[in-house]
Amino acid sequence: MSSRYTVYMLRCADGSLYTGITVDLERRLAAHAAGTASRYTRARRPVALAWSRGRQPPTDARRLEYALKQLTRTEKLALVGGDDGVWRRLRRRVLGR
C-alpha cells in the first residue's frame, strides 16, 4: 500500500501562507518550527498550522498542492477560515470528485 499524504497550509509570522504536502505532518511541522524544512518558512518563523486535509494518495496530494498554490489569497483565507465550499470546489475541479 502506498503512503497517504497530508496537504497543509501554514500561517507564517509575516501573515503569509505556505502550502505543502507530507506523509508525517507532526514531523514536518517540527522541521518547519526548527527552520530545517523550507527556506521560505525558515525566514518567516514562527509558523502555525492553519489548515490541513489528510489521507490523500501521492498523485492527488501533489495536484491539490499545486492547485492550492494557484488560489488567490482571499480564497486561501476563506479555506483557512473554515469555508469547506472552497475545498469541495477545488477537489472537484482538480480530481473530478
- List per-residue pLDDT tens for the chain, 97 residues long: 579 999 999 999 999 999 999 999 999 999 999 999 999 999 999 999 999 999 999 999 999 999 999 999 999 999 999 999 999 999 999 999 8
Fold of 5-95: GIY-YIG endonuclease (3.40.1440)
Question: What's the rounded Cα separation, in Å, for the pair 91 and 20?
Answer: 16
Is residue 21 within 8 A of residue 10, CB to CB? The reply is: no
Mapping DSSP to helix (H, G, I), strand (E, B) and coil, where does residue 50 land? strand
In the chain, domain spans = 5-95
Does the bond joining 57 to the residue before it have cis omega, within 30 degrees of 0?
no
Q: Nearest to residue 65, comparing CAs of 25, 3, 7, 24? A: 7
